[in-house]
Structure 1
Amino acid sequence: MQKLNDSEVRWGVIGVGNVCEVKSAPAMNLVPHSKLVGVMRRDEAKVKDYASRHGVPKWYTDAQQLINDPEVNAIYIATPPNAHLEMTRMAAEAGKPVYMEKPMARTHSECLAMIEVCEKANVPLYVAYYRRALPHFVQIKELIDGGAIGEIRTVHVNMKQVVEPEIITMLENNWRVVPEIAGGGYFFDLASHQLDLLDFFFGKITHASGFATNQAKAYAAEDLVVGSFVFENGVLGTGNWCFTSSHSAEKDEIILDGSTGQIRFATFGKGEFTLIQDFQEPQHFHLSLPHHIQQPLIQSIVEDLLGTGTCPSTGVSGARANWVMGELVKTKIA
């Protein structure tokens, strides 16, 4: 795969919405040999405001114009998923590497099409599954690989959230629960992070099945998914995702059970996890998270593009999360 024949990654961002305020784009000016040089949004007032507040020298209301800017040599696509394939094709045809927000696309077939266009154009494709680079998850992987809890037996994901009032009252602005835009509901938005993280720990999931339903009828997308899955190394897993839960049942926890211990953590927490080894007191870890949460992953992308390192989250790995989600929601319960 062709990397950059340059000494600096000069980013152009398509879709500077909320995710670009703190989580991602500002880090592009903090990573060595990286610079944010242009941003795009269809709303001229909003893109001008973003560029002014973040000190970005160029702004556009047309994605193709940003992509064609000769100063821009890498594209970050931060739009909702329904635009990912089209924007990836445009960037790839211009010969520019692509960094894609998650979930990678609405469907696994769209992911495969994105991989294909990038391979044809010989440009790298990365996905914003930034948990692969966060320090506490890297440490958990090191503990797993080092045998801290023995042979892994099972994995369980337990995700429960309430329906917040603003989800209903502002539904027309909440693309995350519009399947035509997002591919599904909050399961696609949040479980994608969890399933990709487990892929990082244990390798790809080779079998998955489940049931999905719209139980509360608060919006069009599924709000309850249960399922099971098998990793390529033989580890078995289960998951229960409910997005219309009671306050008393709210939960964000993944449990990794091994032959000699257990690791517990929240996917969307504060850099904390607990290690429980047989016949020992539990150990609680708390690692600091970066202010710009995507910065470690963005740094790995810059190093990968410049030939000084590797990135753990690619189009190939990102597509696997979409495949698993598709299998888990395949059977719909009325």
Structure 2
Amino acid sequence: MKLDKVRWGIIGCGDVTEVKSGPAFQKVNNSELVAVMRRTGELAKDYAERHHVPKWYDDADQLINDPDVNAIYIATPPGSHMEYTLKAAKAGKPVYVEKPMARNFAECQEMMAACERAGVPLYVAYYRRAQPRFLKIKELLENEAIGDIRFISATQYQKDLEAGKKPEQLSWRVQPELAGGGLFFDLASHTLDIFDFLLGPIKNVQGFAANQAGYYSAEDIVSGTYLFESGVHGIGKWCFTAFENKDLNEIVGSKGKITFSTFGNEPVRLTTSQGTEEWSFEPPKHVHQPLVETIISDLTSGSRKCPSTGYTGSRTNWVMGEMVKNYYL
């Protein structure tokens, strides 16, 4: 598929589209945002007026079938990702879907199959794959700055944000029917995907999930081990009802280690017998923009530069599913 200009329609113009993603579609060459949709029409209209978008809808089908729209960005909770992807594919329009790609691996497979049948590309919003900070880590690994890679470790824990809320006040992010699971699906997906980007696919997973605090039905703690196809070992622990916030990843090799956070802006740190080096990066104002640039390149030139596709995104869903399957049996 090759387009002269990518004319985007957004399904679900909520908070994530205000700064993180939406403006990127208007700033990249050969790209424009022509329509937005939200179930509450007044909110869709307000977004369109503030961001100078020509059209707004309160019905996703109308946006998908708008002839002026030739690519769809799905920014809803995961519970509707498959539904809208199947409809966009049927309409013959490329899809860019928020992460996690879907609620589970089976839904991911249906989405990929539909897009393959329709001959349309499917991209997933794991935007860190295109940011300079993580490209630097990939460069260090490829240049064997830490020698042979032995194992990785991921640690994330944070204060609870849902304590004391009534069921109707809980975020969709802790409602499995909308999110696929709890905050693990929303947040750990970024870390697991960036490991996939840096080190390749994971082939074996063993995990344990539980709910320790009892604030909602989804899991609130997950720990596990995983083995990459390359032979690299990995461990991870994620807790969302702790006393403070921590976000630390380590990649350990035969000659050194690389430490970095997934969500913070701390320097990327390389430690070897020669000492320590650090690299600092300012996060992009619109964090999706570097990835969106690769998507636009793909769609307008026929290249395959985008590093985050349905194929890669589905692998992260598979890993997460394996990690929590004991909890949802």
Judge same fold: TM > 0.5, yes or no.
yes
Give the C-alpha shift of residue 332 in structure 1.
Answer: 2.7
What SS class does the counterpart of residue 243 from structure 1 fall into?
strand
- Output the TM-score relative to the length of structure 1: 0.95
**Alignment-derived partner of residue 12 in structure 2:** 15
**Alignment-derived partner of residue 255 in structure 1:** 250
Structure 2 residue aligned with 1:24, among 14, 21, 24? 21
Answer yes or no: is 1:133 the counterpart of 2:127.
no
Q: What CA distance in whole angstroms lies between the structure 2 residues aligned with 1:271 and 1:308?
A: 36
Structure 1 residue aligned with 2:299, among 281, 285, 305? 305
Answer yes or no: is 1:75 the counterpart of 2:72.
yes
**Alignment-derived partner of residue 141 in structure 2:** 144
Give the C-alpha shift of residue 246 in structure 1.
Answer: 1.1
Question: More deviation in 109-118 or 163-172?
Answer: 163-172
How much is the aligned-residue C-alpha RMSD, in angstroms? 1.5
The 3 A distance-change label for structure 1 pair 244 and 97 is same
1:190-229 to 2 correspondence within 5 Å? 190-229=187-226
Q: What CA distance in whole angstroms lies between the structure 1 residues aligned with 2:60 and 2:98?
A: 16
- Output the TM-score relative to the length of structure 2: 0.97
Contact 2:167/2:216 (CA < 8 Å) preserved in 1? no
For residue 291 of structure 2, what is the amino acid of its counterpart? L
The 3 A distance-change label for structure 1 pair 251 and 35 is same
Structure 2 residue aligned with 1:36, among 30, 33, 36? 33
Contact 1:211/1:333 (CA < 8 Å) preserved in 2? no
Give the C-alpha shift of residue 166 in structure 1.
Answer: 7.0
What SS class does the counterpart of residue 116 from structure 1 fall into?
helix
Contact 1:168/1:219 (CA < 8 Å) preserved in 2? no
Contact 2:72/2:94 (CA < 8 Å) preserved in 1? yes
The 3 A distance-change label for structure 1 pair 271 and 23 is farther
Uncovered stretches (5+) of structure 2, i.e. residues with no partner: none
For residue 103 of structure 1, what is the amino acid of its counterpart? P
Q: What CA distance in whole angstroms lies between the structure 2 residues aligned with 1:131 and 1:264?
A: 16
Answer yes or no: is 1:270 the counterpart of 2:280.
no
Q: What CA distance in whole angstroms lies between the structure 2 residues aligned with 1:213 and 1:133?
A: 33
Q: What CA distance in whole angstroms lies between the structure 1 residues aligned with 2:188 and 2:253?
A: 22
Contact 1:28/1:298 (CA < 8 Å) preserved in 2? yes
**Alignment-derived partner of residue 291 in structure 1:** 285
Give identity over the alignment, percent.
Answer: 54
**Alignment-derived partner of residue 66 in structure 1:** 63
Contact 2:267/2:278 (CA < 8 Å) preserved in 1? yes
